[in-house]
Chain A
Amino acid sequence: NAGVTQTPKFRVLKTGQSMTLLCAQDMNHEYMYWYRQDPGMGLRLIHYSVGEGTTAKGEVPDGYNVSRLKKQNFLLGLESAAPSQTSVYFCASRKSTSIQALGETQYFGPGTRLLVL
């Protein structure tokens, strides 16, 4: 199993450009998440999905859109990038659909470093 993979690893954008970050997992997990990590702060949830075809907003959803057309993929889109979106983006996935299983946790991808100039 590759686990959770993210592409690209690094990207530089100009203000106003758009891009899509791809997250893929091969563990047949139901839940998928997108976080951003900024210096001196913990991870903040952008959007999440509880299953194929469903998405929901997290703590900091503004300026981002997501889609979950296939169970194994979760896409994060920036329609018009802003310097405030410079960050490291992490995708994660989790198995269960509703109740918390014993010690079940989220599995994280390696991250995408995004710089918006």
Chain B
Amino acid sequence: GEDVEQSLFLSVREGDSSVINCTYTDSSSTYLYWYKQEPGAGLQLLTYIFSNMDMKQDQRLTVLLNKKDKHLSLRIADTQTGDSAIYFCAESPTYGGYNKLIFGAGTRLAVHP
């Protein structure tokens, strides 16, 4: 079946690192994504990782993928107040060539001084 799970809430101090975790179920997912949703806005792609990779770094963002355990994490270095948002993990199982995104419930990141 398809299921993406993530913790619902994370609170960090400004300047610390944030780590948001996600587990997924469908091993056919070629890509795994992290989206960010700011209050009152739509989802915006933050970063993605190809399923053959273990790690991807993009400025302050580091994505780690453990394909064996189907575990994905997003690390934000030097977290700022502007990083406060909901972060969604998504897998992308493929059915007959059609790309479908399965989202987790989202992790609300709160950054405090």
A and B interact physically: yes
The contact size tier of chain A is 20 to 34
Contacting residues, chain B, for A41 (C-beta < 8 A):
105
Q: How far is the CA of A50 from the CA of B98 in the complex (A)?
A: 8
CA of A96 to CA of B94, assembled, Å: 13
Known interface pairs A43-B88, A108-B43; A103-B103 also in contact (CB < 8 Å): no
Q: How far is the CA of A7 from the CA of B42 in the complex (A)?
A: 13
What's the least CB distance linking A4 to chain B, in Å?
Answer: 8
Contacts of B104 in A (CB 8 A): 42
CB–CB A42/B105 < 8 A: yes
Closest partner residue, chain B, to A107 (CB atom): B45
Given contacts A40-B105, A105-B48, A108-B43, contact A100 B100 (CB under 8 A): no
**B42 near A108: Cβ-Cβ < 8 Å:** yes
Decide if the interface of chain B is mainly helix, strand, loop or mixed.
Answer: strand
* A98, B105: Cα distance in complex, Å: 27
Inside 8 A of B106's CB, which chain A residues have their CB? 42
Interface residue B82 (Cβ < 8 Å from any Cβ of A): no
Which residue of the partner chain, among B42, B48, B97, B103, contacts A109 with CB atoms under 8 Å?
B42
**Size bracket of the B interface:** 20 to 34
Shortest CB-to-CB span from A103 to chain B, Å, is: 5
Contact between chains at A90 and B42 (CB < 8 Å):
yes
Chain B positions within 8 Å of A96 at CB level: 99
Q: Is the CB of B41 within 8 A of A111?
A: yes
In the complex, chain A residues 1-41 whose Cβ is within 8 Å of any chain B Cβ: 4, 31, 40-41
Q: Residue B97 contacts which of A90, A94, A99, A111 (CB distance < 8 angstroms)? A: A99
Decide if A45 is an interface residue (CB 8 Å cutoff): yes
Known: A109-B42, A110-B42. A42 touches B103 (CB 8 A): yes
Could you list 10 examples of A-B contacts with CB < 8 Å? A41-B105, A42-B4, A43-B101, A45-B100, A100-B30, A102-B50, A103-B48, A105-B45, A110-B41, A111-B42
Instruction: Give 5 closest A-B pairs by Cβ, nearest first.
Output: A42-B103, A108-B42, A108-B43, A98-B97, A43-B103
